[in-house]
Structures are given as C-alpha cells and as structure tokens.
Structure 1
C-alpha cells in the first residue's frame, strides 16, 4: 500500500477525559510515556503509509509543536478544523490535500498495523469505502456495525437493541465519493459525522465493505482508562515493559531502589533510595520518585514529583504534579463520578491533573479526581471531584 495518504482525525478535546484535557487534546494524552497520537503515527508508518494529513483543532499548538513537519521521515501536513463540528466536518477539512483512495483513522485510539493492513487488503475496486471491524463483547460506548456477506448493512452509534454488532475500529479506506456523501448527509445536532456519510452511501446501494481483524485496539474513554491502555500495551508487547527504555541511560536509579517489571522509565527520571516502582508503572520524562516511596500500577506524567514515603497505587497524574511526602493514593476499586454519571468498581486510586500541588500527608479516597492547579494542604483527606484552582484545607 505504499503511496497511500492517511487522514488522522485529531481535532477533538476528549470531554470525558477532563480534567486531563484541560490543557491538551485527547490524542496528546499519554499511552505509557508517549502521546496516543505518536502510537497512531507509528502504526500507520509500519503499515506502509507514506504521507500523513493531521486534522487539528482544540489545542492544536500542542500537536504541531510536539511533532513538527515530519515524523520518522514521513511528511506531516496539518489542516485546521476551526470549530469541532464532527468527524465528517474534520474529514472535509482535509479533502483538498488528498487525492484518490486514502485512509482515515481516529487519532485518539491505538490500532496496530495489522488492522490497517487488513483494511487495505480487504478494499476492493467496486467499494466506496471499507471499514475495519473487531469482535468485542461490549460495544455500547462505541459504534456498532452489522454486516451481510462482507457488506456493511448498518452503522449504529452506541447500540442497545440486542442485535449482533461488530465494533467500528475507526479505520476507514475511502474513495473520493465519500467526501460528497458526507456533505450530502443531514447533520445531527449541528455536526457532520463520517458514519452518516457512509450510511448515506449504504442507503443508496453503494458498496461499503467491512473487514474483520484480530489486531490490537485500545481506547481511553474516561480518565482511569489510561491505566488499562498502558497496561495493555505492556501485555501485548507494543511497548517494552522493562526499565531499559530507549533513554533509560539518562535516568538515575539508586542501587537500593526496587524496579518491578513491567515498567517504562523515560529520560531524566530520578528514583531515589529505597523506592519501589512497579509493576505496571509508566514514568514520564523528568519524574522524581523520592526515598522509600511506592508506585504501583500507575501512569505518572512528565515533571511530576512523588515525595518521600508517598504511596501511589492506580494513580494517574498530569504534568507537573507534586504528590507530597507521606501522601497516600491507596488504589481502587472505587465509584467515580463523571458529570451526572457514577461508574462503579473502577480501578482508580486518584487522578491528579496538571500542576496539582499536594503538600504532604494527604489521603485520597479511592476514585478522587483533582482538577488542574489545585492546592491540597498538608494533612487533608480528599474525596470526590475537586475543581481546578481549588484550595483544599485540612
């Protein structure tokens, strides 16, 4: 498939991942120690894609400044979706810079190169589009697809009618006719969606194929899913679950510290005496784990400081977080409130968004979510959802 262009849809915020997306879009959140979008680019290039068009919007500067004009010697072309009006609207923003058959892929979900290659291999000359499909037990939070003899017969978002569906993996091989179909489809709640354009093609008798793949697909819908995403990358071998990451030589691990694999340690980290890190831990760039601290089953983003004797279990942090000396994130399971929904028995000790400043001796009730720039004073017990810029007193 050499010579194909891929349109990567990376303009959205990821509302359900707030407060982590307060300062960056969902595609730039970490899967292990690298942005989700970087994994997407890797898999596209491994599948043979020779040009990538990136549709950016919300916090687009975070994407463009991180990647620049090329990635792994593959040119990146950026187009802007000024208002986030749906995946179809994003696709149309890229129409003028692609020619002929192209790929489209979600930039906020990780699919391995097998899924991309299977989609290309299954696309036939009489098809207007081909969708990658997966078999999953529960697709109620995603798009469902019904298929008859290889042809897609319906695409349903968040299906709940009891029919047998495949999961829409968010990988599409598209002919130019799809752009016209997206334009022609009626908007839903003011948004144009790619799947509505595909449904229009199905309704008028055009051939839309579905190809079932057994490749790896992982997605973070809610903040605690970042733990599962990283753990699955370990288990599937997509990342090397040892301390010997590409840049570990630039990190300092004290001889008395215990590293329990799998872990990934990015560059310029410091792990001090008596600390225990792992298993299933991802330490971003310039993280410090203080003396006798314990970090297990956690994703700790860049520039975070974990203080002396602190405990972080099933913890997700943003960038620049301080977990003070003696503070405890005890791990789940827990009930987590997101908006007006309560999710039961989720494995989340706490989520600390960008630049949370914990001054030590703090206890987090499982399921706690703390917004950006909050200050938690020494000796506090924190529970529930704490808004950004809040001061929590003991």
Structure 2
C-alpha cells in the first residue's frame, strides 16, 4: 500500500489526480529515482493548480510542496500528532538519514475514531436531495418499464448505490424528488426498509432539474447536497463540503476533469475562407458538470414556486445577485454516469472490475 503513495516529479498532474483518488489517502510523496523525498502532493494542491488555470499535462514537480513536514525515525508519537494537528495535515512522511521515504504516519492511525471524526466536518445533519423525477428517455426501453433510479447497476439499483455512498459519510436524511413512476420508487424503498430516512417531494408536472427544490425552502438549513439520480461519484464528500465552506460558496458545482486529444490537424479560417492557422492534433482540457452540487439552503428561496426551473438557472441567479459559485474538480474516473447507454455500459464494466 505504501508504495502506491510514491510518485515521480515528472508524472502528469491528471495522472496524480487519478492516483490520489485511487489511494484515498489525499497525499502522494514525490521522490527521485533514489527514493529521496522531493516534496508532497495533496488533493488540495492539485485542485488549487487546476482552479488557477494550471495545465493538467503539467508535471507534478511544478505543483508539489517542496518543503513538507517530515518525521525522523524515533520521534515520539504525541509530538507527531501535535505537529500534524497544528499544521492541519493528514499525513507525514518518515525519512531516513539520506532523506529517503521509508514510511508514513497518517492521522487516522495516530488517533482514535472519535478524534478522526472531530478532525473533519460531520455530514450526519447534512440532507441529500436526489432529483429522481425524469423519464430517462436515453435509457429506453429499460425506462419504459422501470423508472431511471431503479435501473440495475451490478447487484443494486442506481439510486441505492448513490445513497449508500453518502451513508458511508454519515448522511441519514434523504429527499427524493419524484414524478415519473413515483409509486414504483416509493414501493421499492418501502420494501427495502433502509436504515436511513427517505422523504419524497412529489412533482405534479416536470419541474426541471431544480424546480421542485422550492418545496424545501424553510424546511432545511445550513448546507445541502443535490445530485442527479444517474451519477455515481467516487470521491471524498467530506473534502467537498470542507472546500464549499472554506470558500464560503453559495453553490459549489462538482466538476469532472476531461481531456481530449484530437487526432487531426485543426484548421482556423477567417471570414473569407482563407486559412489563418493550423494546429496539429491539439489537446483540450475541460471541466464538465457532473450533476452534483453543494448549496447553502438559503439559496432555495430564489427558486420560483411551481415553475420549470433548472439548477443552472439558480446558478445564474445567485451570480447575478453577487453570490459565490465555485467548482470542486474530480477526475473523470471518479464520475460514473448511468444516464445513457454507452455511459451505462462503461459504468457496469468499471463496477465489475473494481
């Protein structure tokens, strides 16, 4: 496991983001060929690089912290805990006399479960709203029979996988916004009898990706999470909420990093059809909306009652009123989409190979 936390300074930033999410340790140790520590790279370092306009094809050596806190063999456990708490870090590399990384201390192994929970935001009182009212026409003919949330993904339904991913972080209050085949969805959960609480927001007519949320105005407070019913996010929800609160955002959009290489030469022309430039096999990086959002509940008062309204409309309104709308980037491997056939099949393959 420890070897999976080591990386080269010449590795690409996007590859590092994959590695960080796969190890779930939030930190990598950047070493040279001899194993000597050159720096540390956290998920926060990568996000700051991306949000600052940094190139995903850039090298880790440009991004990492080159003066990290380190531990020598024989240092007292309590001293290490105090230093990590003061610096607000979750991992510290152990180095030998040559400066080579030989081990690491992690906050969760130094502390008991109670201390670990106190070190991060609790999501127990943070409600999650799942927008589950759409017809799912891109998944026909499955959705001619079943509502999209009940489409099987491996051994469970899509919506069970989504809710279970939040339950792992302590969430126990869910609201399902339903319309199409809503009776089937309610009957499914009535029979499932989950340990968490499920309440329903019934749409008499389709209200878009955000219109039904006005029903919760005044009923929820603090922060809330809103997600589509066809996206499975494999990332750290604690880190997302911490980022949202630290940045004091009214809305945080979780985005996936997507890279595309065009295998052809791209021609740029001017109005008269004359070639002005040619770019050979260009590379593009995009931040794509995953359909998962963290909102201040106070933003719900901006949603008009009973009107077709998208969450993108709410984002525009918050920005128009001077509010803060930020993004939280994750890698494309951390975003599984079941909303159309090709993506659904890819998700099934990834779950089977996990």
Match of 1:213 in 2: 330
After TM superposition, list the pairs within 5 Å mapping 1:278-289 onto structure 2: none
Q: 1:116·1:171 contact (CA, 8 Å) conserved in 2?
A: no
User: Which structure's residues are more often strand, by fraction?
Assistant: 1
Contact 2:221–2:298 (CA under 8 A) maintained in structure 1:
no
**Residues 97 and 67 of structure 1, relative CA distance in 2, 3 Å threshold:** farther
In structure 2, the partner of 1:116 is: 237
**C-alpha separation between the residues in 2 aligned to 1:132 and 1:81?**
25
Aligned match of 1:48:
170
Partner of 1:129: 251
8 A contact 2:132–2:149 mirrored in 1: yes
- Give the alignment's TM-score, normalised by structure 2: 0.54
Give RMSD over aligned pairs. Answer: 2.6
SS in 1 for 2:205: coil
Deviation at 1:178, TM superposition (A): 1.9
Q: Does 1:194 align with 2:334?
A: no
TM-score where L is the length of structure 1: 0.48
- Total equivalences in the alignment: 208
Deviation at 1:117, TM superposition (A): 2.9
Q: Distance in 1 between matches of 2:192 and 2:296?
A: 25
Q: Distance in 2 between matches of 1:66 and 1:41?
A: 14
1:126-154 CA-partner distances (Å, limit 9, x unpaired): 3211121210136xxxxxxxxxxxxxxxx
The answer as to whether partners of 2:135 and 2:147 remain within 8 angstroms in 1 is: yes
**1:78-157 to 2 correspondences below 5 Å:** 78-95=200-217, 97-112=219-234, 114-124=235-245, 126-137=248-259
Residues 302-326 of structure 1: CA deviation (Å, up to 9, x unaligned): xxxxxxxxxxxxxxxxxxxxxxxxx
Unmatched 5+ stretches in structure 2:
1-122, 261-282
Residue of structure 2 equivalent to 1:173: 294
CA distance in 1, matches of 2:309, 2:150: 24
1:203 aligns with 2:320: yes
| CA gap 1:115/1:26 in 2 versus in 1, 3 angstroms | farther
Question: How far apart are the structure 1 equivalents of 2:193 and 2:288?
Answer: 29
Which residue, out of 121, 130, 133, partners 1:11? 133
Greater helix share, structure number: 2
CA distance in 2, matches of 1:3, 1:210: 23
Secondary structure of the residue aligned to 1:165 is strand
- Cα distance in 2 between the residues matched to 1:223 and 1:195: 24
Aligned-pair CA distance for 1:182: 3.0
Q: How far off its partner does 1:70 sit? A: 7.4
Aligned partners of 2:255 and 2:329 also within 8 Å: yes
Q: What does residue 226 of structure 1 align with?
A: 344
Give the unaligned 5+ runs of structure 1: 139-161, 238-394
Structure 1 residue 196: Cα displacement: 1.1
Q: Give the Cα separation in 2 of the matches to 1:202 and 1:136.
A: 25
Give the distance between the partners of 1:70 and 1:33, measured in 2 at CA.
14
| 1:12 CA drift (Å) | 0.8
Give the CA deviation at 1:96. Answer: 5.2
Structure 2 counterparts to residues 266-281 of structure 1, below 5 A: none
Which structure has the higher relative contact order (CA within 8 Å, separation 6+)?
2
Is this contact kept in 2: 1:17–1:221, CA < 8 A?
yes
Describe the superposition over 1:248-300 as per-residue Cα deviations: whole angstroms up to 9, x where unpaired.
xxxxxxxxxxxxxxxxxxxxxxxxxxxxxxxxxxxxxxxxxxxxxxxxxxxxx
Give how far 1:72 is off: 4.0
Query: Do 1:132 and 1:212's aligned partners in 2 also have CA atoms closer than 8 Å?
Result: yes
Deviation of 1:84 (Å): 1.2
Rate the CA distance shift 1:172–1:123 in 2: closer, same or farther, 3 A. same
Residue 222 of structure 1, CA deviation: 2.6
Q: Distance in 2 between matches of 1:74 and 1:57?
A: 22
Aligned partner of 2:269 in structure 1 is: none
How far did 1:51 drift? 0.7
